[in-house]
Structure 1
Amino acid sequence: MRISVAVITYNWPEALERVLTALAAQSELPYEVIVTDDGSQPATRAVLERMALDYPVRLVHLWQPDDGARMSRARNRAIAAAQGDYVILLDGDMVAERHFIADHRAFARRGCFVQGSRVLTDARLTRRMLENIRLMPGFFSRGIERRRHTLRLPVLARWYARPGTKRRGIKSCNMAFWRDDLLVLNGFNEAMTGWGREDTELAARAFHLGLLRRDLRFSALATHLYHRTRKHVVDNPNDRIVDDTRARRLIRCELGVERHLAEFARPAVDLRAVVRAAAVTQGS
């Protein structure tokens, strides 16, 4: 089983570097890391090119123009470009614990998608983590919330991961699907722009398809770097799309990943090859 990690980012290169460093230090490496970029400035590309020179796995950078928050479109492009059988969705402010990929592999099951968890940090701890690439919070660390999510307990994790249809707590910052299931669902709904709910709508269609949810607790640990949020949006139009999806028991969305498959009929360029070729040219 080849695992693709789709990391979404927007104009926070320092956090992205921390995220990519953690993925490069995994006890089991993924097949590829795809950074799908919702219109960042050149500083993000500069970080990627610097890291690509000695990155241990295939590294892809997909960029789209900044035309408002188009997270659904950005994630769909990553799904379309993925060469793996299994796609882990990760936000560009989520720092993975060193067994993150191995744990996701262990809990992948046909007929299911996986919902992971996260530790929340405050601004001070986030600054320290950005300054020290080796720093990961533990159970007794200061500046964290959801402290239990620092604990990796595989036996307890298996108990929590029993398949079900729980609707609460859906969040695409740490989530995984079989790629062929995402293609059946047509990926994320690109009619949803602005903040939030695109992950909830995708999960609703997954349940309508007959997929079950496995919760990854005490496993596949990740730490969320603090930033201000727009979570409390009043009268979010995306809520009405979620309600319509549920009322009509939709499985496929109209505007989805299929729009991008032709673009990636040939594999997306591995940034490592581009950077290494440029280095050879400059050295000659």
Structure 2
Amino acid sequence: MAELTISVVIPTRDRPDSLGRLLRSLESQNRLPDEVIIVDAGHPPLGADRLRLEHPKLVLKYLHTAPSVCRQRNAGIRLAQGSHVLLCDDDLELPDNYISELARFAETNTGAGCVTGFVCEPDKAGQFSRSFAAPTARHLLFAFLFQLTVWGDVEGVGGSWITRMAITAVKRWYRRRGNTWSLAGWPLVTQVRDSVVRTGIYGLGAALVRRDWLLLSPYDESLGPHGIGDNYGVALGFPQECPIHVLPHLKVLHHRDPRNRPGAEEVFYLRILALEHFMRRDRRFSLTNRVFLAWSLAGSAAIFLARRKTGLLLAAVRGLGAVLTGRNPLSRNTGGHGS
């Protein structure tokens, strides 16, 4: 078997503090990457000389491009020389053993073309998640009814004597469905108790992926500068139904730098457009799935209305309109899948 070599690809834009933290965590790895490619869209540019001076332990390559996360990632992947690419969002912080653990798993599981640690997201209080939390019974039943995304330990959901039979039936449905997607196309990561969680969809912002997989399934450059929904399209292009291996014991912190990050309402709307866009392009989804997508948005709109979240309600209604009329702005650009 050929030696596994690792190129880190980091798209960044005007987040020098976050990027510096990530690069320091890369310098602290007990297995250094073979190269680090920074694709900078910031103004003013960070500059290669400055970065090399500040991070002498890393073999750095530097590109400056126009702002577009998907285009930046694709450019870095094309430039990479490694057999594998470690995709890194610029606001991550990696534990010292992160690269060595991912590489060891990839080397001993040759069919695993994509492996990632557990991405710990901060809550409103700034506390990081450390595991797949179980949703509430109410949340699970509502998500099942409207075929919304579920991202958590479904097996850990309890219920009262009134809901116990319904919860048992719903759990059985999610077991059969596996870590794929709902009937509406939303990601499902519900079977999470194994030491390695295999899933069809997961964030790729800290994933080690075979470079040839990424060249065959590039990031869709029609998604706009923020690339909302980009990982969904890339993962759909990977071989196997559940190609992503998640190592729950290996934690990586995602600091969610607010700079150049759109608001929740815009993110939700763009995610709807991206989902519908990819569903139309993938033969695994049919008109029936798009009908369920519309149904799921009706459910989302109802809950936003009940909670008086006007911005998200309007985003759901706009997204529903795009699904029902077929007027998805992303689908008008058929030439944006890579370059």
What band does the TM-score fall into relative to the shorter chain? 0.5 to 0.7
Q: CA deviation at 1:162?
A: 4.6
Q: CA deviation at 1:5?
A: 1.0
**For 1:11, which of 14, 22, 41 is the aligned residue?**
14
Structure 1 residues 143-176: Cα deviation after superposition (integer angstroms, max 9, x where no partner): 4220349xxxxxxx993325343x3xx2232122
1:223 matched to 2:241: no
Written as runs of structure 1 = structure 2, the 5 A alignment for 1:70-81 is 70-81=68-79
The change in CA–CA distance for 1:254 and 1:102 in structure 2 (over 3 A counts) is: farther
Q: CA deviation at 1:96?
A: 0.8
Measure the CA separation in 1 of the matches of 2:255 and 2:230: 21
Q: CA deviation at 1:65?
A: 2.7
Give the structure-1-normalised TM-score. Answer: 0.67
**For 2:27, which of 24, 27, 50 is the aligned residue?**
24
Written as runs of structure 1 = structure 2, the 5 A alignment for 1:7-86 is 7-43=10-46, 47-52=50-55, 55-66=56-67, 70-86=68-84
Q: Give secondary structure in 2 for the equivalent of 1:233.
A: helix
Contact kept? 1:191, 1:255, Cα under 8 Å: yes
Q: Give secondary structure in 2 for the equivalent of 1:216.
A: strand
Structure 1 residues 84-137: Cα deviation after superposition (integer angstroms, max 9, x where no partner): 0001111111011100101111222435322432234589xxxxxxxxxxxxxx
Q: CA deviation at 1:237?
A: 4.4
Look up the match of 1:114: 115
Contact kept? 2:118, 2:248, Cα under 8 Å: yes
Give the structure-2-normalised TM-score. Answer: 0.57
- For the aligned residue pairs, the C-alpha RMSD in angstroms reads 3.0
Measure the CA separation in 1 of the matches of 2:272 and 2:5: 34
Say which one has the larger Rg: 2
1:159 matched to 2:240: no
Measure the CA separation in 1 of the matches of 2:84 and 2:193: 20
Q: CA deviation at 1:45?
A: 5.1
Look up the match of 1:269: none
Measure the CA separation in 1 of the matches of 2:47 and 2:90: 11
Measure the CA separation in 2 of the matches of 1:213 and 1:147: 19
Total equivalences in the alignment: 221
Contact kept? 2:70, 2:220, Cα under 8 Å: yes
Q: Which has the higher contact order (CA 8 A, sep 6+)?
A: 1
Instruction: Tell me which stretches of 4 or more aligned residues in structure 1 moved more than 6 Å.
Output: none
Q: Give secondary structure in 2 for the equivalent of 1:118.
A: strand
Q: CA deviation at 1:80?
A: 0.3
Q: Give secondary structure in 2 for the equivalent of 1:84.
A: coil
Identity %: 23
**For 2:216, which of 171, 184, 189 is the aligned residue?**
184
Contact kept? 2:12, 2:40, Cα under 8 Å: yes
